[in-house]
């Protein structure tokens, strides 16, 4: 038979569990508060590209740096080296050519420019400011972004964000282009609010 002490302890455990569930990622207010405390993030990422013609996903790895409000360095380390820099509204892209990393003077990473601008908005918790996607908060620490323009949904059907238990941190992003084509980016080893030199957003070295 359960004693009063046991009963009390069980209730405490239940309340603690409930408290974990009603966390920073369960309301827009909580999300804005959680992201509002973020000044910088550095994290590793693993990107899986799923395609119907591939029996297993194509995996890329890299690291990203974010500094509020909208500076990003998105760097692929393997298998194809590539660095995207976004700082004060300007964006540059460098790719491996066999002669080291070379800036693409004329070519703009079409889709990724949109995604990087989106990521900067998400990390800042500014979902209501998003001109491209309408955000819906779902159960399970998940935000689903749907294109506001029907035409854009032919490029990206929807984006699912999974939020980490750590306030302000996105655990993974899944970008769905079609039923059998999507990109999943999982973030690891996130370091929050550590000093990041501004030069990282300006230069590739």
164 lies in the binding site for another protein (CB under 8 A): no
Contact between 189 and another protein (CB under 8 A)? no
Six token digits for residue 79: 């298998």
What's the closest the beta carbon of residue 52 comes to another protein, in angstroms? 8
CB of 149 to another protein, least distance (A): 15
Q: Report the alpha-carbon angle 194-39-196, nearest 5.
A: 40
| C-beta closer to another protein: residue 17 or 107 | 107
Q: Among residues 60 and 67, whose Cβ is nearest to another protein?
A: 60
**What is the DSSP pairing of strand 101-103 with strand 58-67?**
unpaired
Least separation, in Å, of the C-beta of 194 and another protein?
25
Q: How far is the CB of 40 from another protein (least distance, A)?
A: 22
Q: With respect to another protein, which residue has the nearer C-beta, 47 or 132?
A: 47
Minimum CB separation of residue 8 from another protein in Å reads 52
Please say which residue, 2 or 53, places its beta carbon nearer to another protein: 53
What residues between 9 and 48 interact with another protein by CB under 8 A? Answer: 47
Which of helix, strand or coil describes residue 70?
Answer: coil
Edge-to-edge order in the sheet of strand 40-50? 101-103, 90-96, 82-87, 71-78, 58-67, 40-50, 181-192, 170-178, 158-163, 142-147, 133-138
Residue 161 backbone phi and psi in degrees, to 5: -110, 130
Binding of another protein by 150 (CB under 8 A)? no
Nearest to 125 by CA among 40, 34, 205: 34
Residues 6+ apart with CB under 8 A from 122: 143, 161, 170
> Which residue lies nearer to another protein by CB, 55 or 189?
55
155 binds another protein (CB under 8 A): yes
Of the pair 5, 53, the CB lying nearest another protein is at 53
End-to-end distance of the chain based on CA atoms, in angstroms?
67
Judged by CB under 8 A, the residue of 9, 29, 69, 111 near another protein is 111
């Amino acid at each position: 038979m359960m004693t009063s002490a046991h009963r009390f302890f069980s209730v405490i455990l239940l309340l603690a569990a409930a408290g974990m569930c009603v966390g920073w990622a369960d309301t827009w207010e909580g999300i804005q508060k959680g992201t509002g405390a973020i000044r910088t993030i550095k994290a590793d990422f693993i990107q899986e590209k799923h395609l119907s013609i591939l029996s297993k996903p194509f995996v890329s790895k890299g690291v990203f740096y974010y500094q509020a409000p909208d500076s990003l360095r998105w760097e692929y380390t393997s298998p194809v080296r590539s660095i995207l820099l976004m700082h004060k509204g300007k964006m540059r892209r460098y790719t491996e050519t066999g002669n080291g990393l070379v800036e693409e003077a004329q070519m703009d990473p079409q889709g990724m420019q949109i995604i990087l601008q989106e990521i900067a908005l998400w990390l800042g918790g500014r979902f209501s400011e998003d001109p491209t996607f309408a955000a819906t908060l779902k159960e399970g620490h998940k935000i689903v972004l749907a294109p506001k323009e029907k035409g854009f949904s032919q490029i990206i059907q929807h984006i699912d964000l999974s939020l980490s238990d750590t306030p302000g941190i996105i655990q993974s992003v899944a970008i769905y282009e079609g039923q059998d084509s999507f990109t999943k980016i999982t973030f690891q080893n996130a370091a929050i609010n550590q000093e990041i030199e501004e030069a990282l957003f300006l230069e590739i070295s």
